[in-house]
Amino acid sequence: MRQSLRIIEQCLNKMPPGEIKVDDAKVSPPKRAEMKTSMESLIHHFKLYTEGYQVPPGATYTAIEAPKGEFGVYLVSDGSSRPYRCKIKAPGFAHLAGLDKMSKGHMLADVVAIIGTQDIVFGEIDR
């Protein structure tokens, strides 16, 4: 816990000063109070949440370190508000790939214990 607190303190100290919400009205939803008094704000809120934000065309792969390994997202945009392709790589894929080598020479009943050792979540693998 102490180490976690030190990491949080470092993040807060290195955070640049200034606004944390983007000022671009095309990306940021209007304030709640504004929506109750302005019809334009209400329309903008509705369009932003129903149509979404138009992402520029291109492709990206972004990965973060999750508690069980690398979690990655590959996203391809054609310029519309819906992704052309979205592929999610969950950490369980790498764990399941090692199951073959880990279970060689063992009995079939041992596979359950091996899967339990790997801590595989089948909901993230079965897509």
Mean pLDDT of residues grouped by 10 in the chain (127 residues)? Answer: 94 88 82 90 90 90 92 94 91 88 93 89 79
Per-domain residue ranges for the chain? Answer: 16-53, 54-89, 91-127
For position 57, what pLDDT does the model report?
A: 96
Outline where 75-125 has alpha helix (H). 92-97, 99-103, 110-118, 122-125
Alpha-carbon gap, residue 97 to 91, rounded angstroms: 11
Alpha-carbon gap, residue 41 to 50, rounded angstroms: 14
**SS3 state of residue 101:** helix
* Global confidence as pTM: 0.62
Alpha-carbon gap, residue 108 to 24, rounded angstroms: 58
Contacts of 81 (CB under 8 A, 6+ apart): 51, 52, 53, 54, 55
Q: Are the C-beta atoms of 120 and 93 separated by less than 8 Å? A: no
